[in-house]
Amino acid sequence: MSQALENLLTEDRKFEPSPGFAAKAKAKPGIHEDAADDYLDFWHRQALQRITWHKEPTQVLDDSNPPFFEWFADGELNISFNCLDRHLGEHGDQVAYHWVGEPGDKRTLTYRDLHSEVCRFANGLLSLGLAKGDRVAIYMGMVPELPIAMLACARLGLVHSVVFGGFSSDALSSRILDAEARVVITQDGAWRAGNVVQLKANADVALASTPDVSHVVVLKRTDHGVDMTEGRDMWWHDLVDGQSDECEPAVLGAEDPLYILYTSGTTGRPKGIVHTQGGYLTGIVTTHHYIFDHEPDTDVYWCGADIGWVTGHSYIVYGPLSNRATSVMYEGAPNFPDLDRLWQIIEEYGVTIFYTAPTAIRTFMKWGDEHVTKHDLSSLRLIGTVGEPINPEAWIWYQKTIGGGGCPVVDTWWQTETGAAMISPLPGVVATKPGSATVPFPGIFADVVDDAGESVPLGGGGYLVITKPWPAMARTIYGDDQRYADTYWSRFPGLYFPGDGAKRDLDGYFWLLGRVDDIMLVSGHNISTTEVESALVSHVSVAEAAVVGRRDDVTGQAIAAFVTLRSGVEGDEDLIQELRDHVANTLGPIAKPKSIVFTDDLPKTRSGKIMRRLLQDISEQRQLGDVTTLANEAVVHEIAEKAAETTED
Ligand code: ATP
Ligand code: MG
């Protein structure tokens, strides 16, 4: 990392835990050392303490067949029992979800309500003749029936594959086929930004090319008409009609599969990641408890992700329910009907813990503070972020404007494949630095290595690796063990390679530098996209930025930048010059973008991540690569036109 960015990021921007918070925090100093002392024992203790087992595991890690590791293999449990039944005795009336529909309708589901809905739906699924291990595709919006469907599958040992409701029919059919799903659960339509997303109609198109699907269950959410195919399609309400609200949870082995979930597709063809029961649950309940400092009796917790992504699986459904959280769940868009919708919800429900993504935070910054400050957000006591490296500027804004200056910010680094958060501050224990995910979670071991796999001394950068297995780790890519071994375990033998670059500062803090595939090589210097983007975002006029290295005859690669300005700012030649100078002053002349294109939006995955590889395709005038996970196709064409007209330095 360059000296200048170092300056942006060091000591004077370090936030020590407040003594008041630390005194009450779930995590205590020494927890990292305690876990490192005997990490298998640490995870075994978490598994026994936080999970109700049908049969407690005596085995911890089985590493006899790497990279196919197993955890708690002789344990038996049911995750839906852990999420529901075990709370009913004393806490059946506690709210599990405060659900807010986009049009303004609301539902409150207690743990008892959720339990009976899950049992009724599980009995309905049984009546379709499904058996343990069968795959079920779920293509829904953010309605309570989505976690209900997932929990019903978990109750029966069915393997769900949730496909994000914003995906097209092509993306859906390829996922149905890859997972060999026999049943699809969907809904007539989902509310999004005042419109109905026609999920059933999309599913119908997908189903034309998935002959093995025998049943389609359709939830009625809108008044939008749908075509029902006789003999294949049935309404949710008809399926559960008359079903008992008791359903015996299946006794499952810790290593039985729980779900398949496809990665976001930021870097290419999505991978069907397989997670299992016991290790996965151990990882998410432990991280949810400590990282969010979660207190079941008093907190109102809101993870604003979509359940279609791993963040929603782990931190809206399985982690919080198992830890008996009261959660808020919101159906729709953050700007509907107005730009203050989320802040209005936080105020209304007195949300105490809020978890969102850098892309959302940058969007809120762009919209302007006035939408936030008109609401009382003083109930918040902890805020978190996940999904991309967070630019220090956005971190500071988040801490001040949303967190009111006093909330710990937890920047959590993890992936679909890791199942649970891996690198994150523990509030009350670990001091934070804006832009750094800080240190590995207790019992997780990470390193930064060079090309040869040798550990890089503190202060240096390279490839992020995880050096020991962890309970919530992926078990494989569905149907493709070889791709799993090749993608994650072959670059550095014996080490898990997530595909991200990182550096560690002299305090041992990790700074994520973006995908290694995105790292630029300019005149023989490695330059990270994250660094240059963060330098651009630190300029007052800039809301969001993406940079890529494009082929250049002289320097090998040249930096091409794509910049979205804050609302009210106009981009012109003078501003381009100013931004180039700003980057040069912040990071050094080598990092100066050769070209800058202003654009109203950046190409993003449907989970909101910047798709740099498409910008690179545009910059090098190539045909675009895989666009199935692209959210906003029009933007790509707009940028291509502008890029063609852009003058270079
Ligand atoms: P694909 O693997 O299909 O390309 P993806 O990697 O975007 O898609 P996810 O599993 O949703 O799919 O995302 C995980 C990635 O997101 C991480 O590997 C990392 O690059 C990025 N990421 C997540 N959280 C953070 C964070 N807190 N800081 C930096 N990067 C993060
Ligand atoms: Mg990935």
pLDDT per residue over 381-396, tens digit each?
999 999 999 999 999 9
Q: Which atom of ligand 1 is nearest to the CA of 310?
A: 11
- CATH number of domain containing 553: 3.30.300.30
Q: How confident is the model at residue 641 (pLDDT cuts 50, 70, 90)?
A: confident
Contact 418, 473 (CB under 8 A): yes
Measured from the alpha carbon of residue 419, the closest ligand is 1
pLDDT per residue over 601-632, tens digit each?
999 988 889 999 999 999 998 888 888 788 88
- CATH number of domain containing 375: 3.40.50.12780
Is residue 445 domain-shared with residue 560, that is, in the same domain? no
**Is pLDDT at 375 greater than 90 in this prediction?**
yes
pLDDT at 12: 57
pLDDT at 11: 46
Q: How confident is the model at residue 4 (pLDDT cuts 50, 70, 90)?
A: very low
**Is pLDDT at 10 greater than 70 in this prediction?**
no
pLDDT, average across residues 74-80: 98
Nearest Cα residue to atom 12 of ligand 1:
264
What residues have CB less than 8 Å from 354, skipping those under 6 apart?
A: 302, 304, 346, 380, 382, 383, 384, 402
pLDDT at 266: 75
Q: How confident is the model at residue 184 (pLDDT cuts 50, 70, 90)?
A: very high
**Is pLDDT at 557 greater than 60 in this prediction?**
yes
Q: How many domains does the chain have?
A: 2
Mean pLDDT of the chain: 94
Measured from the alpha carbon of residue 534, the closest ligand is 1
Which one-letter amino acid corresponds to residue 565?
L
Is residue 151 domain-shared with residue 25, that is, in the same domain? yes
Separation of 415 CA from ligand 1 center, angstroms? Answer: 5
Is residue 248 domain-shared with residue 105, that is, in the same domain? yes
Is residue 372 domain-shared with residue 420, that is, in the same domain? yes
Helical spans, DSSP H, in 332-490: 341-349, 358-367, 370-373, 392-397, 481-489
Nearest Cα residue to atom 26 of ligand 1:
413
Does residue 509 sit within a domain? no
**Three-state SS for 371?**
helix
pLDDT per residue over 414-460, tens digit each?
999 999 999 999 999 999 999 999 999 999 999 999 999 999 999 99
Does residue 145 sit within a domain? yes
Separation of 529 CA from ligand 1 center, angstroms? Answer: 14
Contact 376, 340 (CB under 8 A): no
DSSP 471-519: TT---EETT-HHHHHHHHHTTTTTSB--SEEEEE-TT--EEEEEEGGG-
Contact 371, 387 (CB under 8 A): no
Nearest Cα residue to atom 1 of ligand 1:
265
Measured from the alpha carbon of residue 514, the closest ligand is 1
Measured from the alpha carbon of residue 438, the closest ligand is 1
Which tokens is 116 given? 């009976």
Separation of 234 CA from ligand 2 center, angstroms? Answer: 36
pLDDT at 116: 98
CA distance 49 to 285: 10
Nearest Cα residue to atom 5 of ligand 1:
264
pLDDT per residue over 114-141, tens digit each?
999 999 999 999 999 999 999 999 999 9
pLDDT per residue over 396-425, tens digit each?
999 999 999 999 999 999 999 999 999 999
Q: How confident is the model at residue 7 (pLDDT cuts 50, 70, 90)?
A: very low
**Three-state SS for 463?**
strand
Is residue 245 domain-shared with residue 383, that is, in the same domain? yes
Separation of 73 CA from ligand 1 center, angstroms? Answer: 28
Q: How confident is the model at residue 13 (pLDDT cuts 50, 70, 90)?
A: confident
Does residue 511 sit within a domain? no
Separation of 266 CA from ligand 2 center, angstroms? Answer: 7
Is residue 71 domain-shared with residue 152, that is, in the same domain? yes
pLDDT at 267: 74
Does residue 614 sit within a domain? yes
CA distance 531 to 118: 46
Task: Of 78, 89, 91, give the one whose Cα is nearest residue 118.
Answer: 78
Residue spans of beta strands (DSSP E) within 381-491: 382-385, 409-411, 446-449, 461-466, 476-477
pLDDT, average across residues 287-302: 98
pLDDT, average across residues 45-63: 98
What residues have CB less than 8 Å from 78, skipping those under 6 apart?
A: 54, 154, 155, 249, 250, 251, 252
Which tokens is 30 given? 């020494």
pLDDT at 647: 59
CB atoms near residue 638 (< 10 Å)? 16
Is residue 409 domain-shared with residue 555, that is, in the same domain? no
Separation of 386 CA from ligand 1 center, angstroms? Answer: 8
- Which of 414, 464, 630 has the most ligand 1 atoms within 8 A of CB, as the residue to mutate? 414
pLDDT per residue over 227-281, tens digit each?
999 999 999 999 999 999 999 999 999 999 999 999 887 777 789 999 999 999 9
Is residue 474 domain-shared with residue 594, that is, in the same domain? no
Is residue 533 domain-shared with residue 431, that is, in the same domain? no
**Is pLDDT at 303 greater than 50 in this prediction?**
yes
Nearest Cα residue to atom 28 of ligand 1:
389
Which one is predicted more confidently, 171 or 280? Answer: 280
Strands 353-356 and 301-303: parallel
Q: How confident is the model at residue 2 (pLDDT cuts 50, 70, 90)?
A: very low
Nearest Cα residue to atom 13 of ligand 1:
415
Residues, CB-to-ion distance under 5 Å, ligand 2: 263
Strands 95-100 and 461-466: unpaired
pLDDT per residue over 461-483, tens digit each?
999 999 999 999 999 999 999 99
- pTM higher than 0.85: yes
- Which of 164, 178, 609 has the most ligand 1 atoms within 8 A of CB, as the residue to mutate? 609
**Is pLDDT at 6 greater than 70 in this prediction?**
no
**H/E element holding 640?**
helix 633-645
Separation of 582 CA from ligand 1 center, angstroms? Answer: 28
**Is pLDDT at 328 greater than 60 in this prediction?**
yes
pLDDT at 264: 80
Answer yes or no: is the C-beta of 413 below 6 A from any ligand 1 atom. yes
Burial grade of 507 (CB within 10 A; 0-12, 13-18, 19 or more):
middle
- Which of 174, 264, 483, 513 has the most ligand 1 atoms within 8 A of CB, as the residue to mutate? 264
Separation of 385 CA from ligand 2 center, angstroms? Answer: 17
- Which of 415, 438, 441, 613 has the most ligand 1 atoms within 8 A of CB, as the residue to mutate? 415
**Three-state SS for 154?**
helix
**Is pLDDT at 3 greater than 50 in this prediction?**
no
Contact 571, 544 (CB under 8 A): no
Contact 646, 594 (CB under 8 A): no
Answer yes or no: is the C-beta of 263 below 6 A from any ligand 1 atom. yes
Contact 622, 598 (CB under 8 A): no
Does residue 467 sit within a domain? yes
Does residue 157 sit within a domain? yes
Is residue 531 domain-shared with residue 477, that is, in the same domain? no
Is residue 243 domain-shared with residue 96, that is, in the same domain? yes
Does residue 512 sit within a domain? no
Among 471, 502, 533, identify where a domain stops: 502
Does residue 510 sit within a domain? no
Which tokens is 145 given? 């029936």
**Three-state SS for 362?**
helix
Residue 239's domain comprises 3-485+496-502
Among 502, 533, 560, identify where a domain stops: 502
pLDDT, average across residues 372-386: 98
Among 502, 536, 569, identify where a domain stops: 502
Q: Which atom of ligand 1 is nearest to the CA of 270?
A: 3
Is residue 474 domain-shared with residue 527, that is, in the same domain? no
Answer yes or no: is the C-beta of 384 below 6 A from any ligand 1 atom. no
Answer yes or no: is the C-beta of 270 below 6 A from any ligand 1 atom. yes
pLDDT at 1: 42
pLDDT, average across residues 534-560: 94
